[in-house]
């Protein structure tokens, strides 16, 4: 005779066993998923040391490039001076000749000049020569003056630095050379306006070397020469104010990136274990 109560008890027992089995499967599945997730997370962390290592290697290449650039700049600024090329206005010629030493002959046009600054004096160029400008003040201006070549063409010459009290040409009449001169200097190109820097203080005073504007105001070609220290005269601007500053911090970057790579790889190894 079929026993309904016994059947119900047996069915409940089977159902409980099934629930236990299903729960076990779910638990194992969750554990497997967590294991996969943790493994993936660990390998994501591996991206950091690999990336840092690649950046360190890239900085090694940048360091070699920067050293070559510095050597090139040193070679240009110390090379023998050459006459100003007749094709200096051809496209790309000024960039090609920048920081090259050139010789020009002609006369200054002192009827008009522009001022670049305030700028500090390049003390290394003065050699403590008492016959030139002497001032305790380190702040002043660079004097940019038109220069008429023997060919009749007009270019710009940065004659050098004067203290604030000698900004006006009336205070340095002795240094306003009228005769024909031969001077040596470095070819320079214009500067880009730094962010948040005003274009100028007044109509003739500028915070940065805006070569195109200089040439427009002074009616010259957009060619600028920084006169060297030998061009300095008593009562006039102090030449030799060119500063060639090339930042070279790539060695620090190399150490930083490789250190970060080593540290993060060590952390990854510990987590993996």
Residues 68 and 149 in one domain: no
- Does 166 reside within a domain? yes
What residues in the chain have per-residue pLDDT under 50? 1-2, 7, 11, 22, 25, 27, 36, 126-136
Q: What pLDDT does 216 receive? A: 93
Residues 216 and 112 in one domain: yes
- Does 206 reside within a domain? yes
CA 39 to CA 55: how far, in whole Å? 25
Residues 70 and 170 in one domain: no
Q: How far is CA 41 from CA 21, 46, 250, in A?
A: 30, 9, 32
**pTM score, whole prediction:** 0.68
Residues 106 and 199 in one domain: yes
**Other Cβ atoms closer than 10 A to 67:** 13
Residues 178 and 257 in one domain: no
- Does 20 reside within a domain? no
Q: What pLDDT does 68 receive? A: 86
Q: What pLDDT does 55 receive? A: 92
- Does 32 reside within a domain? no
Residues 215 and 157 in one domain: yes
Residues 194 and 253 in one domain: no
CA 164 to CA 139: how far, in whole Å? 7
Which of helix, strand or coil describes residue 28? helix
Residues 114 and 215 in one domain: yes
- Does 259 reside within a domain? yes
Residues 256 and 213 in one domain: no
Residues 72 and 167 in one domain: no
Residues 71 and 48 in one domain: yes
- Does 52 reside within a domain? yes
CA 61 to CA 53: how far, in whole Å? 13
Number of structural domains found in the chain: 2
Q: How far is CA 46 from CA 8, 37, 38, 99, in A?
A: 57, 15, 13, 46
How confident is the model over 210-247, as pLDDT tens digits?
999 999 999 999 999 999 998 998 899 999 888 777 77
Q: What pLDDT does 5 receive? A: 54
Structural domain including 55 reads 42-79+246-272
- Does 202 reside within a domain? yes
Q: What pLDDT does 139 receive? A: 86
Residues 201 and 106 in one domain: yes
Q: What pLDDT does 128 receive? A: 42
- Does 25 reside within a domain? no
Q: What pLDDT does 3 receive? A: 56
């Amino acid at each position: 005779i079929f026993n309904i109560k016994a059947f119900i008890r047996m069915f409940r027992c089977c159902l409980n066993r099934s629930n236990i089995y299903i729960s076990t499967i779910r638990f194992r599945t969750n554990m497997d998923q967590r294991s996969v997730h943790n493994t993936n997370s660990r390998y994501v962390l591996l991206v950091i040391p690999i990336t840092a290592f690649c950046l360190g290697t890239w900085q090694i290449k940048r360091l070699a490039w920067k050293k070559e650039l510095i050597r090139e700049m040193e070679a240009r600024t110390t090379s023998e001076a050459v006459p100003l090329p007749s094709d200096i206005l051809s496209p790309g010629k000024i960039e090609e000749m920048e920081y090259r030493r050139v010789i020009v002959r002609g006369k200054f046009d002192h009827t008009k000049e522009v001022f670049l600054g305030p700028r500090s004096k390049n003390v290394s160029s003065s050699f403590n020569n008492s016959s030139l400008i002497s001032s305790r003040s380190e702040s002043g201006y660079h004097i940019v003056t038109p220069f008429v070549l023997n060919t009749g063409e007009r270019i710009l010459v940065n004659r050098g630095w004067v203290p604030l009290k000698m900004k006006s040409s009336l205070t340095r009449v002795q240094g306003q050379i009228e005769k024909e001169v031969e001077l040596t200097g470095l070819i320079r190109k214009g500067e880009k306006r730094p962010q948040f820097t005003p274009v100028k203080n007044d109509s003739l005073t500028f915070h940065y070397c805006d070569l195109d504007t200089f040439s427009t105001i002074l009616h010259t070609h957009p060619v600028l020469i920084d006169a060297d220290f030998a061009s300095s005269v008593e009562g006039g601007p102090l030449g030799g104010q060119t500063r060639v500053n090339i930042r070279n911090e790539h060695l620090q970057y190399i150490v930083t990136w490789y250190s970060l790579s080593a540290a993060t790889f060590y952390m990854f190894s510990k987590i993996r274990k």
